[in-house]
């Protein structure tokens, strides 16, 4: 089934280049030039992925991301200016899956698109039968579901894959680079804060079930590990 991708940017040349290359890669493309239209199209069409510029008229990209995250976990790749560091961090904390800096390489963007869609498609068949029990945490790879103290966790595809990797190596310390490669699926050439932001969101969802239970430990200067047995 062809993936449907919504491209949101107020610069027609960027929309044209991105749309052209997505269509060349056999994706279905929708376009919007402002935040209000982006929300309208996203709600009507339920795209598989959104490529979202942060600087938009009518409603900025952060507000679009915030609104969408209240409704469902559609994957989002942000397009940001190089000097918009604060916006990038906020966008990641709101739940964006990844970001690409402007001016960007089309090849890099297409690689990010493929990897995000691969992640949302689920694990390969040989991994799908795996069920991991780590103390009160259960991770079901086949059903793409996770439970803490028998309560279901409402995780995005990215958050589920991050938890799955940590559960597979429970007790092992993963560097940010290792998590980036295992979860995001590309060699590191970006900002390690995508990992930190995803861990922060995952911890928040785990604490909704049990505020006193600290499952993911930070190893200062190294990375993260799952501390359940």
The confidence score (pLDDT) of residue 187 equals 54
Residues 135-180 pLDDT 10s:
899 999 888 899 999 999 988 888 999 999 999 888 889 998 888 8
Q: Strand ranges (DSSP E) for 93-187?
A: 98-102, 131-134, 137-140, 145-148, 151-152, 174-175
Q: What are phi and psi of 30, to 5 degrees?
A: -115, 150
The CATH T-level fold of domain 126-226 is Arc Repressor Mutant, subunit A (1.10.10)
Whether pLDDT at 124 is above 70: no
Taking the CB of residue 17, how many other CB atoms lie within 10 A of it? 16
* Residue 200, CA atoms < 13 Å, CB-side half-sphere: 15
Residues of the chain with CATH 3.40.50.2300: 4-121
Whether 66 shows a pLDDT value over 80: the answer reads yes
What is the pLDDT at residue 147? Answer: 94
pLDDT for the residue numbered 123: 56
**pLDDT band at residue 188 using 50, 70 and 90 as cut-offs:** very low
Q: In the chain, where does the domain assigned CATH 1.10.10.10 lie?
A: 126-226
Q: Is the pLDDT of residue 128 over 60?
A: no
Question: Do the beta carbons of residue 38 and residue 64 sit within 8 Å?
Answer: yes
Look at domain 4-121 and name its CATH class: alpha beta
Residue 220: predicted pLDDT: 87
Q: How confident is the model at residue 129 (pLDDT cuts 50, 70, 90)?
A: low
Q: Which two tokens stand for residue 40?
A: 């309208």
């Amino acid at each position: 089934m062809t993936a449907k991708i919504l491209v949101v940017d107020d610069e027609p040349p960027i929309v044209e280049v991105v749309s052209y290359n997505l269509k060349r890669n056999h994706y279905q493309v929708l376009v919007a030039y402002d935040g209000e239209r982006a929300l309208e199209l996203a709600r009507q069409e339920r795209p598989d992925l959104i490529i979202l510029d942060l600087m938009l008229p009518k409603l900025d990209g952060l507000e679009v991301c915030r609104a969408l995250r209240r409704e469902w976990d559609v994957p989002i790749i942000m397009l940001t200016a190089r000097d918009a560091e604060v916006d990038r961090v906020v966008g990641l904390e709101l739940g964006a899956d990844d970001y690409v800096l402007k001016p960007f390489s089309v090849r890099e963007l297409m690689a990010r698109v493929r990897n995000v869609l691969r992640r949302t498609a689920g694990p390969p068949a040989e991994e799908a039968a795996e069920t991991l029990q780590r103390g009160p945490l259960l991770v079901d790879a086949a059903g793409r579901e996770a439970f803490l103290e028998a309560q279901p966790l409402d995780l995005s595809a990215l958050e589920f894959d991050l938890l799955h990797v940590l559960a597979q190596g429970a007790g092992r310390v993963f560097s940010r680079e290792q998590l980036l490669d295992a979860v995001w699926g590309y060699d590191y050439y970006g900002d390690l804060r995508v990992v930190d932001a995803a861990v922060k969101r995952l911890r928040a969802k785990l604490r909704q079930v049990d505020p006193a239970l600290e499952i993911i430990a930070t190893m200062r200067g190294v990375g993260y590990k799952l501390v359940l047995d």
